[in-house]
Amino acid sequence: MKNPEEVVQRLDAVDYLADEGLAMAVFLALRLGKPLLLEGEPGVGKTAAAKALAQALDTPFLRLQCYEGLTAGEALYEWNYQRQLLHIRLGLASDDASLFSEDFLLERPILRAVRHDGPTPPVLLIDEIDRADDEFEALLFEFLGEAAVTVPELGTFAATRPPIVVLTSNRSRDLHDALRRRCLYHWIDFPPPAQVAAIVRRAVPEASAPLIRDTTEFIGRVRTLDLDKAPGLAETIDWVSALAALGATELVAGDTLRTLGTIAKTPDDRLTIAAAVPQESSP
Amino acid sequence: MLLRGTDRAAFAVAFVARLRRAGLRVGITETDDLVRALAVSPPTSRTVLYWTARVSLVRRHDDLAVFDRVFATVFDDTPPLPLSRSALPPKSRENSVHVAVPGTGGETATEGEGLPWATLPAAVAADDESADDGLGLPELQPSALAALADVPFEELDQAQTEALGAALRAALTHWPQRRGRRHRTDPAGRRVALRPTIARARRTGWEAITVVRERPVPRPRRVVMLCDVSESMRAQAAAYLQLMRAFTTVADAEVFAFATRLTRLTVPLRHTSTREAIDQAGAAVDDRFGGTRIAGNITALLDSHHGDTVRGGVVIVASDGWDSDPPEAMAAAMARLRRRAYRVLWLNPRAGTPGWTPKVGGMAAALPFCDRLLPAATFTDLTEAVHHLRDLSRPASFRSSPAR
């Protein structure tokens, strides 16, 4: 990709509408070969951006979902112990080299990204890195800095073409500065209503224009209410899909109440949003 | 095209220097990124330059506001605006001015101003016993600490408060724990650890004779403390600040102060120097000794991105329960907090008074959602509260009273 405008076009072609900031972030990440750290409120399209990027570049998409207790065994590589034991049983284990060879190496997402052998580097999404414990961040440093993974028994695997790495975080925990330093950073803001409408139109092509206009307007109002969890883009898309599935062509109070579960995710929010419906939505 | 004929490196370094002066931590890596980014993405417009610089220089959301301001100062023709962060070096605060704090009784002697936090001794109470040894003691001996432990906070001076804060830190040896998802080899473990077993088998001709076992490593639970710094809590605020500092320095904790709005104090209180930490915390809170909005602030915490820190953690609210929000709001906020947290403790400075009952609307509304209501008027009380933390990690059957 030659410039940020091309990034916008290529992502647009796979139905992901990127704004100028995100396009610049993606462009620089690709050109400088650095990982990209995306933050933003939940449901704003962080994960979708990585997926769309893989689709736009037509390369494999690898995903590592982070969770507490994630270790090298799940993220980098693991030895296939069962096969090793069988190998021993069969009396074939003559020395270390035969047991700890590539035959017994199980690739996990990061090592798979490093060893990927194809015309284009894969996109590796390290999703919700803040959910992994902070010890795990240190495991990533070698990979993020050098695009290499060291397996003590075998040596260092370095990527011929560094994979495109996207990390996402919901800021539930402060990430270490050393991790931030190795990445480019972009904060995805919640898009303005016109952009929301455009995104929803792409995501739910079967929805009618008046329906999309009314729903995005309503979501804009709902987001100003005092809610436990303000509906994000993902919820808006779900809601419009639900309304479209019901055959609605414009927003009416009855449909809104029936499909409230797509945008209100706690009992309190349900009440608050329901109270905002009758007098505010168009009849 | 902007910046035609400019030395990119010189420009980047100069701009970074501006950002650093504004208090942003921008290092060599980021500067290098900017130089390389400018090479691949020539700044054709102000917006392009903005995004190039922002993506390559800023690494955290909190820094965006400062970055935007510095960027605007440099590239707009606007006069420089005062910067909020680090504009005032905390050292410039006057430490020696003491404020006399109204005690619980009638004596209200207010003189001087400027201490970041409340502490101090009602001058009247200090007079009779410590007139001759007051300033002469640089360091408090354990026996002196023991004597101070039962003195109400409003009768302690700053040095005494700090000494007791240190004692509190030392007392924090037990931390509530939960089962973690990481494993460690342990002969008493239940799970077979394959990797070490195979490594061990090497000694016996690859025959796995010794089976190595592993068990989960317990992890400390996060402690989240919310401290009321409103007018009615003036006397206790300094002591509670010491408790919060003890939490942040000893282990994983998030601490907040609130009166009318919520301020996160985790970072300032982690400072290695106690005095500096307390001063920085004082500078960070700009609504102290105002009114109180307990329910509003609890909701604000749950709604913010720190809301997830409460999940599975022990929440300690330190307040007297005087709330300007209605009790229904308090009940709703506490119900949400209770659902998300593992345990909720409430420290109330009045609770130790004989004959005290939670009559205040806010306190009465919050009580059903608290696992414990603990008195917190003296350092003995705070030490007790710290010991309660240890009890929390035990199974429910060992605790003295049922949690829910």
Tell me the domain boundaries of chain B. 8-75, 181-219, 223-398
**pLDDT reported for residue B1:** 67
DSSP string, B180-243: EEEEEE-TT-SEE-HHHHHHHHGGGTT---SPPEEEEEEEEPPEEEEEE-SGGGHHHHHHHHHH
Task: Name the residue of chain B whose CA is nearest to A186's CA.
Answer: B55
CA atoms of A110 and A97, how far apart (whole Å): 23
Least confident window among A80-94, A125-139, A248-262, B44-58: A80-94
Give the length of chain A. 283
Q: What is the mean pLDDT of residues B263-285?
A: 84
Question: Chain B residues with CB inside 8 Å of A68's CB?
Answer: 180-181
Residue at a domain's end among A146, A170, A187: A187
**pLDDT reported for residue B140:** 52
Instruction: Specify the higher pLDDT residue, A172 or A186.
Output: A186
Question: Chain B residues with CB inside 8 Å of A183's CB?
Answer: 59
User: A244 and A228 in one domain?
Assistant: yes
Least confident window among A38-42, A221-225, B168-172: B168-172
Q: What is the mean pLDDT of residues A46-61?
A: 94
> Does the pLDDT of residue B123 top 70, yes or no?
no
User: A65 and A139 in one domain?
Assistant: yes
Question: Chain A residues with CB inside 8 Å of B332's CB?
Answer: 268
Q: What is the mean pLDDT of residues B133-156?
A: 60
**pLDDT reported for residue B19:** 92
> Does the pLDDT of residue B95 top 50, yes or no?
no
User: A172 and A198 in one domain?
Assistant: no
Contacts of B281 (CB under 8 A, 6+ apart): B116, B117, B241, B245, B257, B265, B268, B269
Task: Name the residue of chain B whose CA is nearest to A227's CA.
Answer: B303
Dihedral (C-alpha) B173, B174, B175, B179: value to the nearest 10 degrees? 130
- Contact of A195 with chain B, judged by CB distance below 8 Å, is answered with no
> Does the pLDDT of residue A108 top 60, yes or no?
yes
Q: What is the mean pLDDT of residues A208-234?
A: 89
Task: Name the residue of chain A whose CA is nearest to B218's CA.
Answer: A69
- B362 closest CA partner among B334, B404, B403, B385: B334
Element (H, E) at A56: helix A46-57
* A99 falls within a domain: no
Provide, rounded to the nearest whole percent, the portion of chain B with pLDDT above 70. 78
**pLDDT reported for residue B35:** 92
**pLDDT reported for residue B164:** 80
Question: Chain A residues with CB inside 8 Å of B180's CB?
Answer: 68-69
Residue at a domain's end among A187, A208, A233: A187
Which CATH number does the domain housing residue A123 bear?
Answer: 3.40.50.300
CA atoms of A224 and A220, how far apart (whole Å): 7
Tens digit of each residue's pLDDT (9 = 90 or more) over B321-366: 888 888 888 998 999 999 999 889 999 888 888 888 888 888 888 8
Question: Chain A residues with CB inside 8 Å of B325's CB?
Answer: none
CA atoms of B86 and B70, how far apart (whole Å): 14
Task: Name the residue of chain A whose CA is nearest to B252's CA.
Answer: A173
**pLDDT reported for residue A126:** 95
Quick one: how many helices (H) and strands (E) in chain B? Answer: 15, 9
Q: What's CA A77's distance to the chain center, in Å? A: 22
B364 SS3 class:
helix
B81–chain A nearest CA distance, Å: 24
Q: How confident is the model at residue B404 (pLDDT cuts 50, 70, 90)?
A: very low
Q: What is the mean pLDDT of residues B201-207?
A: 83
DSSP state of A80: -
- Contact of A38 with chain B, judged by CB distance below 8 Å, is answered with no
> Does the pLDDT of residue B400 top 80, yes or no?
no
- Contact of A103 with chain B, judged by CB distance below 8 Å, is answered with no
User: A206 and A164 in one domain?
Assistant: no
Q: How confident is the model at residue B401 (pLDDT cuts 50, 70, 90)?
A: very low
Answer whether B309 sits within 8 Å of A185, measured CB to CB.
no
Contact (Cβ atoms closer than 8 angstroms) between residue B139 and residue B270: no
Residue at a domain's end among A140, A166, A187: A187
Question: Chain B residues with CB inside 8 Å of A85's CB?
Answer: 198, 208
Pairs of CB atoms within 8 A across A/B = 101
Q: How confident is the model at residue A87 (pLDDT cuts 50, 70, 90)?
A: confident
- Contact of B133 with chain A, judged by CB distance below 8 Å, is answered with no
User: A55 and A15 in one domain?
Assistant: yes
- Contact of B309 with chain A, judged by CB distance below 8 Å, is answered with yes
- Contact of A225 with chain B, judged by CB distance below 8 Å, is answered with no
CA atoms of A7 and A19, how far apart (whole Å): 10
User: A122 and A227 in one domain?
Assistant: no
**pLDDT reported for residue B315:** 92
* A105 falls within a domain: no
Q: How confident is the model at residue B77 (pLDDT cuts 50, 70, 90)?
A: low
* A259 falls within a domain: yes
> Does the pLDDT of residue B172 top 60, yes or no?
yes
- Contact of A272 with chain B, judged by CB distance below 8 Å, is answered with no
Instruction: Specify the higher pLDDT residue, A125 or B374.
Output: A125
- Contact of A83 with chain B, judged by CB distance below 8 Å, is answered with no
Least confident window among A205-209, A235-239, B139-143, B252-256: B139-143
**pLDDT reported for residue A157:** 92
Tens digit of each residue's pLDDT (9 = 90 or more) over A114-125: 999 888 999 999
User: A130 and A241 in one domain?
Assistant: no
Element (H, E) at A194: helix A193-203
- Contact of A133 with chain B, judged by CB distance below 8 Å, is answered with yes
Task: Name the residue of chain A whose CA is nearest to B25's CA.
Answer: A177
Looking at every residue in chain A, the average pLDDT score rounds to 89
* A96 falls within a domain: no
Answer whether A96 sits within 8 Å of B202, measured CB to CB.
yes
- Contact of B180 with chain A, judged by CB distance below 8 Å, is answered with yes
Class of the CATH-defined domain B223-398: alpha beta
Instruction: Compare CB distances from B33 to A24, A32, A79 and report the shortest one's residue.
Output: A32
Instruction: Compare CB distances from B181 to A3, A24, A68 and report the shortest one's residue.
Output: A68
User: A217 and A170 in one domain?
Assistant: no
B135–chain A nearest CA distance, Å: 42
Answer whether A21 sits within 8 Å of B181, measured CB to CB.
no
> Does the pLDDT of residue B145 top 80, yes or no?
no
**pLDDT reported for residue B141:** 56
- A37 closest CA partner among A45, A48, A25, A27: A25
Instruction: Specify the higher pLDDT residue, B250 or A244.
Output: A244
Contact (Cβ atoms closer than 8 angstroms) between residue B372 and residue B400: no
**pLDDT reported for residue A184:** 94
* A81 falls within a domain: no
Question: Chain B residues with CB inside 8 Å of A190's CB?
Answer: none
CA atoms of A198 and A11, how far apart (whole Å): 14
* A95 falls within a domain: no
User: A255 and A197 in one domain?
Assistant: yes
User: A235 and A178 in one domain?
Assistant: no
A248–chain B nearest CA distance, Å: 33
Supply the range of the domain harboring residue A159.
Answer: 4-71+112-187
Domain count, chain A: 2
User: A151 and A43 in one domain?
Assistant: yes
Least confident window among B97-106, B153-162, B382-391: B97-106
Provide, rounded to the nearest whole percent, the portion of chain B with pLDDT above 90. 18
**pLDDT reported for residue A53:** 95
**pLDDT reported for residue B393:** 62
Answer whether B60 sits within 8 Å of A88, measured CB to CB.
no
Answer whether B48 sits within 8 Å of A25, measured CB to CB.
no
Instruction: Compare CB distances from A84 to B60, B198, B299 and report the shortest one's residue.
Output: B198
- Contact of A96 with chain B, judged by CB distance below 8 Å, is answered with yes
* A278 falls within a domain: no
Q: Is the dihedral of CA B230, B236, B242, B245 positive or negative?
A: negative
A132–chain B nearest CA distance, Å: 11
Question: Chain A residues with CB inside 8 Å of B220's CB?
Answer: none
Instruction: Specify the higher pLDDT residue, B75 or B147.
Output: B75
Predicted ipTM?
Answer: 0.79
B256 SS3 class:
strand
Instruction: Compare CB distances from B33 to A34, A133, A186 and report the shortest one's residue.
Output: A34
Q: What is the mean pLDDT of residues B88-100?
A: 41
Q: What is the mean pLDDT of residues B240-268?
A: 87
- Contact of B45 with chain A, judged by CB distance below 8 Å, is answered with no
Question: Chain A residues with CB inside 8 Å of B36's CB?
Answer: 32
In terms of average pLDDT, the best of B40-49, B111-120, B388-397 is B40-49
- Contact of B215 with chain A, judged by CB distance below 8 Å, is answered with no
CA atoms of A77 and B169, how far apart (whole Å): 41
Answer whether A172 sits within 8 Å of B37, measured CB to CB.
no
- B285 closest CA partner among B319, B261, B303: B261
pTM of the predicted protein model: 0.77
Task: Name the residue of chain A whose CA is nearest to B337's CA.
Answer: A228
CA atoms of A180 and B29, how far apart (whole Å): 10
Looking at every residue in chain B, the average pLDDT score rounds to 77
* A87 falls within a domain: no
User: A266 and A177 in one domain?
Assistant: no
